Structure 1
Amino acid sequence: MERSQAPRILITRLSAIGDCVLTLPVACALRRQFPDAMLAWVVEPAGAQLLRGHPCIDELIIIDKRWYKSPSVIWDLRRRLRSYQFDIALDPQSLSKSSLLGWLSGAARRIGFSPPFGRELAPWLNNEPVTRTNSHVVPGNLQLLAPLGVTSPDVQFRLTAEPAAEAKIDGWLEQAGISSGFALLNIGASCDARRWPEERFGALATLIERRRGLRSVVAWAGQERAAAERAVAASAGNAILAPDTNLQELVAISQRAKLFVGSDTGPLHIAVAVGTQCVGIYGVTNPAVSGPYGARHRIVTGPEIEWPDALKQPFGKGRSDDNGIMRMIPATSVALACDELSSAAA
């Protein structure tokens, strides 16, 4: 078989969780276009937990988060990457770190974004620039495939949980007496500016039970337990605390939920990827860039927010400790979005 029909392709999306999820359609489209290709993905440990076992990925190349700090590690990684003899490196992240990995791999074709989506050293290290004309991350990432003859592919995620994770979640749901559908509320956020107040989640749980007859499960991980407990305490008995979940277990519980509510975080995009209806609560990040992808979801934003042109200023205002915009969004507004999903599904 000719190499053009079975190319060896490297994806360089290192992090974060949500961005890894939003890059999965690239892997799925590549697998459909090149069923015999060898497809590898270089990723940091957190993302590897999510991508493990994905049907479109032949190999995960897991690297330490600070790999670029050590010349000896860089040299070893170069040798490791070149052993795969990659033909193509795809760089949806298009930053210095990700583009350097493509360059180290020795791939002759290194496809990445031109500015403003290609940043730092990426426009110099990648040798096939693509101008992104779609503001949203999902179809925007898929534009990287145009040089490979892949245009307007169907969006697929093909994200499923491992059997052990499914068994754990099914056992917990049975023990909790939840069998007829539930709303999954994710209180976590990657920075305080994206955090919706815990008491609003509690009030929302009461509204969801009253309007849709669904009990709510409050998801959390790591140090978020205290915040999740406060949300449950504010729910007047209409929400319960989820177990501590790893990413595979989060995939499993999201698959089983009838509704997901959360801010612009990895868990929201996981829920979208597994087909659960979602309401995304957005403050400082632009939903035109990273909103829940697809028409079956809803977005709630703060009042009178004017977003900049997403193709000229796609990266928002960065991380912040101020969640003032999120605090302006009442539980009733989010509940109305949940009602819209219920009406659309009827």
Structure 2
Amino acid sequence: MKRILFITSTRIGDAVINSGVLDHLVQQYPEARVTVACGPLAQPILEHTPGLERLIILRKKPLGLHWLGLWRRVFATRWDLVVDLRGSAIAFVLRARRRNVLKRTRVKMHKVREAAGVMRLDPPPAPRIYLPDDARQRALKWMPAGRDYLVVCPSASLPFKMWPATNFAEVVAELVLPGGAMGGAGVVIVGGPGDEDHAVPIINALPDAGVLDLTGKLYLSDVAAVVERARLFIGNDSGVMHIAAAMGAPTLGLFGPSDELLYGPYGEKCATVRGPRGLEATLSEFPNWRQHPSSLLDDLRVPVVIEAAKKLLERTEEA
């Protein structure tokens, strides 16, 4: 196996979900030269993959012209293997000895397992992100050894996925103040550019705790290095949640209109929680939920999240 073309998602979370298949390929074929095509947001979590010869940034264009642009950049190569987790047609118009293209199925399964199915991998390989050493060094500088850290991401890509930031503040305070399950732990907030307002209620709830707010300040590989150091990560259904799980942090995902059976954080150290309304009732009550301008996690109560966090802490105590 000399040349592999791996086509993955434009979204951060989906790219992380697919990363286990990519890791399988580079482990199975260490001599191969790998080309990865992904969206610009996913670049930081894929650009340090072993064996990576080229990273092609796929920017969406009208009429699907981004696929024509990708074809122009890869058609001259004779590929030993093309793996397309976007399920496009491009693999069939390239010279390739072998093509593995994702086909959507009506069978309900986690997206990690669905991605693994393209290579018939069972059990599915867990997502994996490769980081440069300097990212871990920076994270260690921000979060010195010898202390537990609670890392939270109170934002998400869309408002209907976001639990109110004031609720996050209550949970964080309950966990880290004296007598809490993580009493004395450091608090770190992460998120993307434009998410800064979501950090404010948490900072205000802990004025003397030295909360480290890294929202909008980090390259995504640095975010991965930060969440890797978490004793516990709590976040909405988001790309950062999937990154935390992939980095091995105990990860609690908060869910509302999205399905945790498909998109929950993946791994033994992960858990999810939702309100009593449930998924089906949420989608029925809000049929246009994808356009909903505010949180659809309003039924999820603070004590429920605190209890779920405590249970995850207890379960991962020996890990």
**TM-score per shorter chain, which class?**
0.7 to 0.9
- Taking a change above 3 Å as real, the CA distance of residues 77 and 212 of structure 1, as seen in their structure-2 partners, is closer
Match in the other structure for 2:264: 291
User: Is 1:24 the counterpart of 2:19 in the alignment?
Assistant: yes
Separation of aligned partners in 1, 2:114 and 2:68:
32
Separation of aligned partners in 2, 1:318 and 1:27:
33
User: Is 1:207 the counterpart of 2:180 in the alignment?
Assistant: no
Match in the other structure for 2:304: 333
Match in the other structure for 1:311: none
SS at match of 2:251: strand
Match in the other structure for 1:188: 155
- Kept after mapping to 2: 8 A contact 1:81/1:104: no
TM-score (norm 1): 0.79
- Kept after mapping to 1: 8 A contact 2:227/2:244: yes
SS at match of 2:234: strand
Match in the other structure for 1:78: 71
Aligned match for 1:102, one of 91, 98, 101: 91
Tell me the amino acid that sits aligned with residue 243 of structure 2: I
Which runs of 5 or more residues in structure 2 are unaligned? 282-286
- Taking a change above 3 Å as real, the CA distance of residues 50 and 306 of structure 1, as seen in their structure-2 partners, is closer
SS at match of 1:89: strand
- Kept after mapping to 1: 8 A contact 2:116/2:124: no
Match in the other structure for 1:303: 276
Displacement of 1:165 after TM fit?
2.4
Separation of aligned partners in 2, 1:318 and 1:52:
34
Q: How many residues align?
A: 306
Tell me the amino acid that sits aligned with residue 303 of structure 1: P
Separation of aligned partners in 2, 1:279 and 1:167:
25
Match in the other structure for 1:268: 241
- Kept after mapping to 2: 8 A contact 1:218/1:232: no
SS at match of 2:266: coil
- Taking a change above 3 Å as real, the CA distance of residues 317 and 290 of structure 1, as seen in their structure-2 partners, is farther
Displacement of 1:253 after TM fit?
0.4
Match in the other structure for 2:60: 65
SS at match of 1:204: helix
User: Is 1:167 the counterpart of 2:137 in the alignment?
Assistant: yes
- Taking a change above 3 Å as real, the CA distance of residues 212 and 173 of structure 1, as seen in their structure-2 partners, is closer
Displacement of 1:7 after TM fit?
5.2
- Taking a change above 3 Å as real, the CA distance of residues 254 and 109 of structure 1, as seen in their structure-2 partners, is same
Separation of aligned partners in 1, 2:85 and 2:289:
19
Displacement of 1:192 after TM fit?
0.5
Aligned match for 1:222, one of 168, 173, 193: 193
SS at match of 2:297: helix
- Taking a change above 3 Å as real, the CA distance of residues 196 and 228 of structure 1, as seen in their structure-2 partners, is same
Separation of aligned partners in 1, 2:298 and 2:124:
37
SS at match of 1:327: coil
Displacement of 1:222 after TM fit?
0.8
- Kept after mapping to 2: 8 A contact 1:185/1:217: yes
Please show how residues 113-124 of structure 1 align to structure 2 within 5 Å: 113-114=102-103, 117=104
Give the CA RMSD over aligned residues: 2.7
Displacement of 1:291 after TM fit?
0.3
Separation of aligned partners in 1, 2:58 and 2:119:
25
- Taking a change above 3 Å as real, the CA distance of residues 41 and 301 of structure 1, as seen in their structure-2 partners, is same
Separation of aligned partners in 2, 1:306 and 1:185:
23
- Taking a change above 3 Å as real, the CA distance of residues 87 and 215 of structure 1, as seen in their structure-2 partners, is same
Match in the other structure for 2:4: 9
Tell me the amino acid that sits aligned with residue 266 of structure 1: G
Which runs of 5 or more residues in structure 1 are unaligned? 1-5, 118-130, 309-315
SS at match of 2:188: strand
Tell me the amino acid that sits aligned with residue 44 of structure 1: G
- Taking a change above 3 Å as real, the CA distance of residues 171 and 343 of structure 1, as seen in their structure-2 partners, is closer
User: Is 1:47 the counterpart of 2:42 in the alignment?
Assistant: yes
CA-to-aligned-CA distance 1:257-286 (integer Å, 9 cap, x gap): 111000110000101111000000000100
Separation of aligned partners in 2, 1:89 and 1:18:
22
Separation of aligned partners in 2, 1:68 and 1:252:
37
- Kept after mapping to 2: 8 A contact 1:285/1:317: no
CA-to-aligned-CA distance 1:158-181 (integer Å, 9 cap, x gap): 42332332233322335xxx7402
CA-to-aligned-CA distance 1:68-119 (integer Å, 9 cap, x gap): 665xx7655433202332233222222xxxx1443454436443343xx2xx
User: Is 1:157 the counterpart of 2:127 in the alignment?
Assistant: yes
Separation of aligned partners in 1, 2:210 and 2:276:
27
- Kept after mapping to 2: 8 A contact 1:202/1:236: no
TM-score (norm 2): 0.85
